[in-house]
Structure 1
Amino acid sequence: MASDMPMSAELEQIDGEIQDIFRALENGFQKLDKIKDSNRQSKQLEELTGKMRECKRLIKEFDREIKDQESRHAPDVNKQLNEKKQTMIKELNSYVALRKTYQSSLGNKRVELFDMGAGGSDPVAEDNVKMASDMSNQELIDAGRKQMDETDQAIQRSKMVVEQTIEVGTQTAANLKQQTDQMGRIVNELDTIQFSIKKASQLVKEIGRQVATDKCIMFFLFLIVCGVIAIIIVKVVNPNNKNIRDIPGLAPPAPTARRLLSAEAFGSLG
């Protein structure tokens, strides 16, 4: 479907994709007439429906591009582009109407256009219908009872699973509560330990200050003792030094010369 009106590169690309889809739809519906199998017809109809959705999306994109470029085109060009858009919509609607026609013809075979995987009759279901037609009333009753028994057993198993799940959930909740309580106790113990560590740190600091004070006192006492010893030594070595007072309790040593004279006098008398 060629066009002689001036279009931008974006519009030409979208128009080309739309025309390709229209050709694919035309060929697809022609092939649909030749298909006899309902399953293949349903699958072909689903593929064509997907192409229609894509075509609808492209027409909306074409309309947005027209509106975006409206200020750059002359009024007659905008009119032609809008007419082209309407033509596209009409052509798409014609295929939509054709799709509805095929959908109606396939309705008695439970074909749903927008349900992927829809098909014809189930061979297993047909076999079950044939088997049911060949069974007597008593056999049908027995088969129904058997099916009911199996259903009851399945329900019972489901109840057991539910009860086990509830029991496990209850046990899990109890374990979680126990672990939560244990975590609370651990947190309290950690707080107590932290308080004890803080008190111990303060006590260590106080002991350190006391030790430092005791060391200072002992150092001053040591200096005093050293001073006293030094005075004693100086007094003993130089007793005539008047600059040093006599230490109480320590008598000054007797003069050496006087002791010598007393010894000579005692010797002469003898």
Structure 2
Amino acid sequence: MATDLQMTPQLEQIHGEIRDNFRALANGFQKLDKIKDPNRQSKQLEELTGRMRECKRLIKEFDREMKDEERGNPPEVNKQLNDEKQSMVKELNSYVALRKTFMSSLGNKRLELFDMGAGASDPTADDNVQVASSMSNQELIQAGNKTMDETDQTIERSKQVVAQTIEVGTQTAVTLKGQTDQMGRIVNELDTIQFSIKKASQLVKEIGRQVATDKCIMFFLFLIVCGVIAIIIVKVVNPNNKSIRDIPGLAPPAPSRRLLYLKASDYLE
């Protein structure tokens, strides 16, 4: 089904990485069945858990890319992509359930090892009873005091660990509160920046409209000036053209003077 899907190159890359991780998980769990050492099993489970976290991240990324491209895809393509995503989620959940099964089995094995260790110490306890029966009262008191001192030291160390844990928890809480406040300030600053960007966009649009209006006005003024200049030129070149009215403020052209050449006979008369 995956090969028939229509995907963008970005979706194909994410899909391929998810499938590679699924193959690695399948091989890892197969190898886990053959491992008998609990420590090696625990290490192998940690590696597989990292793979599953990576798969979860990639599936979320796949879902985001799919939603970004949802508007440009036909409904049937979106349905196929959604079905593929659900299939990958189910497959990942199956590996998660398999991991829980192995973790439970590994915990039981460790419990059995602990029980075996406790059983192995029983003969030592019997030896201690036999040794205690052969000790004098003074020696028993000294041994008891020594045991009590060791117990007190252990309790004191436990108190120190608890105090350190509380201190670390307090510092962590203060750090988290500071980070929360910082995130709140960042969100407020982002809102302010977004509002400023919107206002700037509106101002740029208004300036663009004003510039366009000024250009239109200048263009019409230019046409008017060109028309007036054309009329003046025509009027100067052809002053007898009555179809063109005189321009207000512009005196009509002076009539051309013609020299009269009189004949000599005119003078004689």
Return the TM-score normalized by structure 1.
0.51
1:224 corresponds to: 224
In 2, the alpha carbon distance for the partners of 1:143 and 1:238 equals 139
User: Could you say which residue in structure 2 is the equivalent of 1:178?
Assistant: 178
Residue 118 (structure 1) shift: 9.2
1:98-137 map, 5 Å: 122-137=122-137
Q: Distance in 1 between matches of 2:119 and 2:215?
A: 103
**C-alpha root-mean-square deviation of aligned residues, in Å?**
2.4
For 1:231, the aligned partner's letter is: I
Question: Displacement of 1:211 after TM fit?
Answer: 1.0
Say which SS state the counterpart of residue 259 (structure 2) adopts: helix
- Superposed, 1:250-261 pairs within 5 Å as 250-256=250-256, 258-261=257-260
Q: How many pairs are equivalent?
A: 148
Q: Does the C-alpha gap of structure 1 residues 237 and 155 become closer, same or farther in structure 2, counting only changes over 3 Å?
A: same
Among all aligned residue pairs of Structure 1 and Structure 2, give the percentage whose two residues are the same amino acid.
87
Q: After superposition, what is the alpha-carbon deviation per residue over 1:155-197, rounded to whole angstroms, capped at 9, x for unaligned? A: 0000000000000000000000000000000000000110111
Rounded to whole Å, the distance in 2 between the matches of 1:212 and 1:260 is 58
Instruction: Output the CA distance in 2 between the equivalents of 1:139 and 1:119.
Output: 28
Counterpart CA distance in 2 for 1:251 and 1:261 is 26
Distance 1:141 1:156, change over 3 A: same
Q: Distance in 1 between matches of 2:240 and 2:119?
A: 139
Q: d(CA) in 2 for partners of 1:212 and 1:119?
A: 94
Within 5 Å, give how 1:201-220 maps onto structure 2: 201-220=201-220
How far residue 255 of structure 1 moved from its aligned partner, in angstroms, is 2.2
Deviations 1:207-246 (A, max 9, x none): 1111111111111111100000000000010000000111
Q: How does 1:1-270 map to 2 (within 5 A)?
A: 122-256=122-256, 258-261=257-260
Q: CA deviation at 1:251?
A: 1.7
* Alignment TM-score, normalising by the size of structure 2: 0.51
Q: Which has the larger radius of gyration?
A: 1
Query: What SS does structure 2 have at the residue aligned with 1:158?
Result: helix
Aligned twin of 2:54: none
In structure 1, distance between residues paired with 2:195 and 2:260: 82
Structure 1: distance between partners of 2:138 and 2:199:
91
Gaps of at least 5 residues in structure 2 are: 1-114, 262-269
Displacement after TM superposition at 1:148 (Å): 0.3
1:148 aligned counterpart, secondary structure? helix
